[in-house]
Structure 1
Amino acid sequence: MSWRLMTPEDMPRVQVLADSIHVGHPEDLEVLAERQRLYPQGCLMLTEDQRAIGYALTHPWHYGEPPPLNGLLGKLPAAPTTYYIHDVALLPVARGKGYAVQAADMLIAHARAAGFGNLSLVAVNRSQAFWERVGFCVLSITGLDAKLASYGPDAALMVRDLASPIRDA
């Protein structure tokens, strides 16, 4: 198994994965495909024997302003202030094998090479502990409570400062 760049042809498989992994956070194919179209170099697929078992969608964005779930971006900011991880999702068969850490390492390295000072994300589905292990910490910003609540009861805005090593653990 290995991570590779996602292609437009992967989008139907990404939709199937998203629908089965994020049952409580549905997103339209148009939304997922727009992320890949706007920033293809930040979108990854994990396959095993040509079967899709995971994906990652990322893009430059505004620090402290996570995009709404299931919402189109329209365009990427001209002067982005964070490298945003929209989603890293794995089927149960792929979990516990180090693939999430591989994806995190690849995304951190990409953000660093692209000149970003930080990465940010909204941790959902009890993923906060994983993101803390790869160097992210919870960020509290006044006025984001309602938006974060739309991501689910355990949603937490997190940030990784790239001044620190790729991974401390």
Structure 2
Amino acid sequence: MSIRPITTTDWPAIMAIQAQCYVELTPESLGVMQSKWQASPTSCVVFEQQDNVLAYALVHPWLQGDAPSLDTEISGQINADSWYLHDMAISPSAQGMGIGKKLFNHIVNQAKNLAINGIGLVAVQGAHTYWLQQGFKPNTTSAKLTKSLDSYPAGACYLYLSLS
């Protein structure tokens, strides 16, 4: 088992996992997903076992208290003070193996080593309970964030984990 940066050959597996995991929203396009990776290739990772990708996490720089709209490519210089955990998904066949916790710990350790202030995310499909257990807290919602959240399914909520 290993966690490593995403490579170009991982995308078919990543897209398959995304399609299997997200039932309340339309999966994002390959171009959108890859734009997150291209924005921060060293913080976007996969979890693999015996050369099989079982999970992935797309993490990129962003501002605390804000989130990119769903299904929107990002590009160019990003004005950021934090990381944004855009997506973390585990193949249904690998759920219950502790992979989510391992991926999350990897992301947090990497962020701390780089003196990142914190990590924001938008929880969907009832995942907010999991993220609250990991130490994330609700954050104040600006008009800009509210507009971004409108692109997500009902019940989506922005959460933030301070690392400083």
User: Fold match, TM over 0.5?
Assistant: yes
Partner of 1:42: helix, strand, or coil? coil
Partner of 1:13: helix, strand, or coil? helix
Q: Return the structure number with greater relative CO, CA threshold 8 A, min gap 6.
A: 2
Deviation at 1:34, TM superposition (A): 1.8
The alignment status of 1:100 with 2:100, answered yes or no, reads yes
Distance 1:116 1:142 in 2: 22
Distance 2:92 2:155 in 1: 20
Distance 1:15 1:114 in 2: 28
Partner of 1:14: helix, strand, or coil? helix
Contact 2:84/2:120, CA 8 A, preserved across alignment: yes
The aligned amino acid for 1:47 is E
Report the TM-score when normalising by structure 2.
Answer: 0.90
Match of 1:166 in 2: none
Deviation at 1:83, TM superposition (A): 0.7
Match of 1:140 in 2: 140
The alignment status of 1:87 with 2:64, answered yes or no, reads no
The aligned amino acid for 2:128 is Q
Partner of 2:87: helix, strand, or coil? strand
The alignment status of 1:109 with 2:109, answered yes or no, reads yes
The aligned amino acid for 2:60 is H
Match of 2:72 in 1: 71
The aligned amino acid for 1:41 is T
Contact 1:61/1:76, CA 8 A, preserved across alignment: no
Query: Paired residues, what number?
Result: 162
Contact 1:58/1:87, CA 8 A, preserved across alignment: yes
Report the TM-score when normalising by structure 1.
Answer: 0.88
Partner of 1:47: helix, strand, or coil? strand
Match of 1:61 in 2: 62
Partner of 2:76: helix, strand, or coil? coil
Deviation at 1:118, TM superposition (A): 1.1
* Offset from partner CA, 1:7-54 (integer Å, 9 cap, x none): 122122211221221242321101111222221111111223322221
C-alpha RMSD over aligned residues: 1.6
Structure 2 vs 1, CA of residues 29 and 67 (structure 1 numbering), >3 Å: closer, same or farther?
Answer: same
